Amino acid sequence: SKATVSVLYWKTYNMAPTVAVTAADLFVEDIENLSLNPRVLQHATWRTTKEAKEEKKHWKRNKPQLGKARKGDWSDAKHTTLGTKGALFEAQRCLKCADAPCQKSCPTSIDIKSFISCIANHNNYGAAKMILSDNPVGLSCGMICPVSNLCVGGCNLAATEAGAINISGLQEYAVSHFKKMNIPATRDPALPPRDEMPASFATKIYMVGSGPASISCATFLARLGYSNIEIIEKEPYAGGLSSTEIPQYRLTSDAVQWEIKLLKDLGVKVTTNCEFGKDLTVEDVKKQKAVLFIGCGLPKPNIDDAFKGLSISNGFYTSKDFLPQSAEASKPGLCACKNGVKPTAPKVHGKVLVLGAGDTAFDCTGSAFRNGAKRVVVCFRRSTADMRAVEEETILARYEKAEFLPYCQPKEVVLEDGRIKAVVMWKMEQDDDGKWYRDDDQLLTIKCDFVVSAFGSVLGSALEEEISKVADLKWGKVTVNTDMCTKTDGVFAGGDCVGSGLTVEAANDGKTASWSIHRYIQHMHNEEVSPVPKLPLLHTAVDDVDISVEMAGIKFPNPFGLASAPPATTLPMIARAFEAGWGFAVTKTFSLDKDTVTNVSPRIVRGSTSGPNLGPHQGSFLNIELISEKSAAYWCSGIRQLKQDYPAHVVIASIMCGHIKEDWQTLAKMAIEAGSDALELNLSCPHGMGEKGMGLACGQKPNLVQDISEWVKEVCDIPFFAKMTPNITDITEIAGAARAGGATGVTAINTVSGLQHIKMDAAAWPRVGPQKLTTYGGCSGNAVRPIALRMVSSIANKFPGFHVMATGGIDSADTVMQFLYVGAPVMQISAAIQNQDFTIVQDWILGLKWQLYALGRSDLATWEKQVPAAPADVAHVLHTGARPRFGPYLDERHKITQEECEKKHEAGEIGELPAYPDYVQGKIPSVNDLVGKALGTIGSFGDLLGMAPHNQAVAMVNDDLCINCGKCMMTCNDTGYQAIRFSADRHQPFITDSCTGCTLCVSVCPVPDCITMVPRDAASRPSAPVYEPSRGIPYGQEQLPVGSKVKLAI
């Protein structure tokens, strides 16, 4: 109606209506805007089955991309690959178990729970360091490890309906981000300079083959300080079978070449086009008195008698022909090594038979599709249950619709005009004892165009002959003992050639051999080395960053300390924390003997702010625990011992008394005489102690806080801090009183008084005794972080130079940075340790070092949470019209991708390896440099009002990232400004000019960087570059009369 149009126009542009309207017209809404908004169900939904079948096709997302449509498409096809959202979700599911079975199931013994904990805390550098410290080919293993039979097979969550953690996906995610950081590996500065190392460390060490075994062995030896290591590789490029035989869609060439780059960073020489037994012989090694590590693969194929005499010209490939040709024609960086000659991919078409059921056979299967096959049939001797291939390989083959033909053994080949036309197979049977046999009476003829044989591989006669000069061979494999030593002194072996067929097993062989080689060389130079291995960790410039901090004349090794809370319950706990890497500790609060306490139970419970999340990563805890039950004598005795055993660590004594001068001065003197570095005056315990005239009873009154500070100041010659309660209107009033009384600083904040759980039987939790009584307890953890940040910043802004120790919701290096920026140089932690254990500090140490290092590099300084900043076109340009990833639009995407890939495949276009450009290392700031850096941006709301209406922002959606969930539209409609249209057929949101920049849509969007806030200007909003608020009824107009009820758009 004219009235409706007029009111909508009026609401938008603040112009008076042209016809008479009523208040009812104010309820008219844009029906199109709300057409897909959720509605309350009033009756059962009716739709025919035929309609449902048709409609589901439109929304289908999990339609498989058939192998026959994969020609030339060597992009990542693994089902384990994770993006940022998936990685964080998966990492936070991990329980970080004690004595974690996943780690015991990893051949290289990676500290899996710790690296996953780092990922959960946005510390990809820390995660990568932990991975690569134990496994130098950790990126390759993250991509191709058969984790279902290794770490994932031992995951405790497999015992729950939630299922095991995607460990390989997390490993790939973390190391891939470290690769993007472009941080070189470095020698540990604890080693003497190269020219000052003992002569033994210049011993020549040769590695045969440049695969995982040699990379791993050479890496650990280089970390130990050996400087004359040379890897020889017969191919024109390094990487071994990782480069030549594992397809690009599983293991990218840039991953392998980057691992080799880290190796070269340490001074290891890699010589290609150098063949063992030809260009370097055993005799050459002996003449040079060098050490030899044989880490080669098995380069020759096993060929069934039925195929002897056949070649590629007949349509017959072995895996040793097929996979290297496929790799050279698809992996960037390999073809360049062929002197500019463009490699040719295997020319297959039609129906391809792949013989074998191991991992190699399934690599051939996927590669056959990508080289042009329309059908691929995997033929093998035994049943599908007996296939040797790992689950990760067979899943993809089934997804791409490869066909499986079990119980077949080749008998003979049918040729026509010199080409394979068919293969005749014997049928295999199994007797009651489980033995397999050939049934000559059952034959099967299978027509095909090509055959790829993947029946295993061997060393080959030439390589066997050379190796046999220094090592025994059995069943075609090199014989070694548990230390990877052969029968000849100074000759070691590992990897495929000794029977370790997995990349991760080969890496561990090299790792094991490195310590054996180290011991052997040192023994030859009359130096003894412990049989217990102590292999160095990965080291980079990040690890050299100094994170010590000074506050109030005290130097802290790092800003991380135990709060006066459950983690500091006993002296041995504090000692264990120092051993783990914590920089300081505040003792559990103790009092004079006359103020003894006894706790009730239960008393520490998980909060109610984490929803159904069980296990670690609780958002909050609630406790009704009192101060320490131990005596002042216990704590003062222990402080002396701690300072003797850990002189570089800071020990702060937490003390509490009533408003009694003599008590405070007596207890303060005891703590000072014990050797405390500082005191913390607990004036803020929110439960229990207040009833005794202590804790909160003192801390809420400025005059009492000032009194106590003055009393302690009279007898104190060391820094002391008053611990602030957040349970007050203005914390700066209390902080000001402590400052006026002479306190060195304050600790902000103690726990927030609250009530977390009321059960369905009306009983609280925790509840004590048969009466099921409870009280208001102290809430801690991430839920109180916003309060802590506000109060720390308020104190720091109001009292410049007044020291603040922060506590409250600190759970990662990322949150540590936040507290540094608002004015706190050191932080006390409790809830995060309650969620995990003392070792989490290593995650934070590495994370904070990375943050400081990144601030000294312009290319990393814009990274947020150790993830690259969104590209400019995502952050500043509106993307519209991109095809969704479901139904017909997904088919269109696949079709376009297929056409592009086929075109590149036919043209032989491969692409280039990513570059690792030189970077400028600027000044790395200290921790103290960052303290208070954000305070100048925190002010009153009045400071912001002056920016309206010209400094406005609007939301922008990147359709290509959008998963079409509509969360943005729903929150905008029901809690915002109805500024988002939602397409009925494509489910793509479009933000209209009505957007007020409230940012709700960004807040609820589940996809990182999908919705971003950009300046409101002529570029982002050409039709409405200036924000004009809708006033409903323009200022100065009369109220409207009531009209008839409007039918709402629901």
152: Cα separation from own chain's centroid: 16
Give exposure, 481-500, as e/b (b: 16+ Cβ within 10 Å).
Answer: eeebbbeeebbbbbbbbbbb
C-alpha angle 189/193/199, rounded to 5°? Answer: 130
Using CA atoms, how far apart are residues 750 and 828, in angstroms rounded to an integer? 10
DSSP string, 468-536: TTTS-EETTEE---TTSB-SSTTEEE-SGGGT--SHHHHHHHHHHHHHHHHHHHHHHTT----SS--PP
C-alpha angle 171/175/181, rounded to 5°? Answer: 155
For residue 578, CA distances in Å to 123, 645, 838 come to: 22, 10, 9
Q: Which two tokens stand for residue 160?
A: 């729950």
What's 305's DSSP letter?
Answer: G
Type and span of the H or E element at 829: strand 826-829
Closest to 731 in 3D by CA, of 828, 796, 646, 639:
796
Instruction: Look at the alpha carbons of 435, 439, 444, 445 in this order and tell me if their dihedral is positive or negative.
Output: positive
The catalytic position among 102, 145, 155, 685 is 685
C-alpha angle 660/662/664, rounded to 5°? Answer: 70
5: Cα separation from own chain's centroid: 52
For residue 80, CA distances in Å to 171, 172, 245 come to: 10, 9, 20
The total of other beta-carbon atoms located within 10 Å of residue 169's CB is 22
DSSP string, 391-455: HHHHHHHHHTT-EEE-SEEEEEEEEETTEEEEEEEEEEEE-TTS-EEEEEEEEEEEE-SEEEE-S
Using CA atoms, how far apart are residues 138 and 146, in angstroms rounded to an integer? 13
Helices (H), 716-855: 731-740, 785-798, 813-821, 831-835, 840-855
Interhelix angle 319-328/359-370, nearest 10 degrees: 50
Q: Tell me if 250 sits within 8 A of 326, measured CB to CB.
A: no
List strand residue ranges (DSSP E) for 567-664, in order.
584-586, 604-606, 621-623, 650-655
Q: Which two tokens stand for residue 112?
A: 């899996």
Using CA atoms, how far apart are residues 997 and 1026, in angstroms rounded to an integer? 12
800: Cα separation from own chain's centroid: 38
CA atoms lying within 13 Å on the CB side of residue 585: 33
Q: Which two tokens stand for residue 784?
A: 């109180």
Burial of 199 (0-12, 13-18, 19+ CB in 10 A): exposed
Using CA atoms, how far apart are residues 1017 and 1007, in angstroms rounded to an integer? 25
For the chain, the C-alpha Rg in angstroms (whole number) is 34
Annotation says 106 is catalytic: no
Q: Which two tokens stand for residue 704?
A: 């009492």
Using CA atoms, how far apart are residues 737 and 729, in angstroms rounded to an integer? 14
Q: What are phi and psi for residue 121, nearest 5 degrees? A: -100, 20
Q: Which two tokens stand for residue 449?
A: 């165009």
CA atoms lying within 13 Å on the CB side of residue 174: 32
Using CA atoms, how far apart are residues 123 and 133, in angstroms rounded to an integer? 16
Residue positions annotated with a catalytic role: 685
